[in-house]
Amino acid sequence: MFFFAYNILSIFLLLPVVVYHLYRSVSRGRPPAFRERFGSIPAAELAALRKRPTIWLHAVSVGESIAARPLLKALRKRYPGHAIVVSNTTETGRGISSTFPEVDLCIYFPFDFLPSVCSALKSIRPVLIIIMETEIWPNFTREATLRGIPVLLANGRISDRSFDRYMKLGWFFRHPLRLFSNLCMQTEIDRERIIAIGAPDERTLATGNLKYDIPICVADVGEKKRLRDSYTIPEELIVLTAGSTHSGEEQHVITMYKELSAAADNLFLILVPRHPERSSEVAGLLENSGLTFRRRTSLPSTELFHQGEVLLVDTIGEMMSLYALSDISFVGGSLVPTGGHNLLEPASAGVASVFGPHMTNFREITELVLQYGAGIQVDSPEALTASMRTLIASIELRRVLGQNGLKMMRDNGGATERHMEVIAGYL
């Protein structure tokens, strides 16, 4: 009865969903890709699967795609005869996933409209579906189950902010949750929460966070110089990278940078908005501040940057390289109540990080970063400026924070292998 009612409702919701996606795509200057979102995948693209048994992994956006990378590498190594399909919901997620050499085919995830789901499943014919974090789509999960395809939840989490919402809608989520073959949650708290929402206790495990298994990518002197050369950044500058920033944060970062640059003659800022389509808005802030800047898309250039200038990154997929060439990082989404972003990225590069008070989406990671002394949490823009000033003045403090981050990564790895043990039961 639940799925019948859901499908009736989905008919009425289809038009608003289509209109929303069309508006979102047009406003961001990207094609809406309705063909794939309605489950139609061109035969030429399906040829990449070459009739091999196929593993379908779904990762909503950029963060989930990056978190999936260790798992994708392990799947490719252990099951070389299988094809791997990755689906994404967002354009930026697909942009990242399409760069992964482990992936045979990237597609957009179909709308959870019964004909779309059936068409996609019929075309791909996966032997296993892996859904990253907490994407719960009733039709997709049910239709896969009816076809005898195991569906696993990987790296699952239920944040503080979303738990109450899920509980209020437990009557809705418990139906698709019961169809998952296994649910691999990041922590015991996540496991308890999703069971409370309606997941089957006996099929729900705490397997750790895949993000701790992202490759350690510390750049030595030669590699750091090569990276800086590719962005035309002089090697003698102290580079501060503000990554994944949101509206309301960039102005604070710019104000901080201008104040610090007035006292230091060797400082350089890389500013990376979380959503590249906001780059024009951020460029306006930089222009109004009087700072000289260049966009990433205008590089390479024969002219080197100078102290006090700014690189505005209006592309995707370069965050790890940017952290690797940096001396200090600010992790955005944390000075405004967005919930923060992944502190493990600068930690895996051995780079000291500073972040704000709003880290509810990464509570466990934040606690570990503070426990290991791998970063500094501040409660205001003024405190951010003060902490950055201290880090600029102390190369030893930067080194200690970076080394502590690397130790944290090494001590808390292993989630990939625990996930692979579960996956092995279905392949």
Q: Active-site residue numbers?
A: 64
- Cα 302 to the center of its chain, rounded Å: 32
- Cα 116 to the center of its chain, rounded Å: 26
- β-pairing, 126-132 vs 105-108, is unpaired
Residue 224 sits at φ, ψ, to 5 deg, of: -65, -40
Residue 303 sits at φ, ψ, to 5 deg, of: -95, 125
Contact 272, 331 (CB under 8 A): no
Shortest CA distance to 52 belongs to which of 76, 23, 34? 76
Q: b vs e for 264-280, b when ≥16 Cβ sit within 10 Å of the residue's Cβ?
A: eeebbbbbbbbbbebbe
Angle, vertex CA 279, rays to CA 277 and CA 280, nearest 5:
100
What secondary structure does DSSP assign to 284-325, as a single string? HHHHHHT--EEEGGG---SSPP-TT-EEE--SSS-HHHHHHT
Would you state the structure tokens that stand for residue 299, as one six-digit string?
């590089």
Shortest CA distance to 386 belongs to which of 215, 216, 244, 263? 263
- Cα 336 to the center of its chain, rounded Å: 18
CA distances from 417 to 32, 206, 409 (A): 37, 13, 15
The strand pairing partners of 153, in sequence order, are 131, 183
Give Rg (Cα) of the chain: 22
What is the C-alpha separation between 77 and 2, in angstroms, rounded?
40
**Which residues have CB under 8 Å from 329's CB, separation 6+?**
240, 241, 242, 243, 323, 346, 351, 352, 353, 354
Cα within 13 Å of Cα(346), Cβ side: 32
* Packing angle of the helix pair 138-146, 2-27 (nearest 10 deg): 120
Angle, vertex CA 403, rays to CA 264 and CA 219, nearest 5:
75
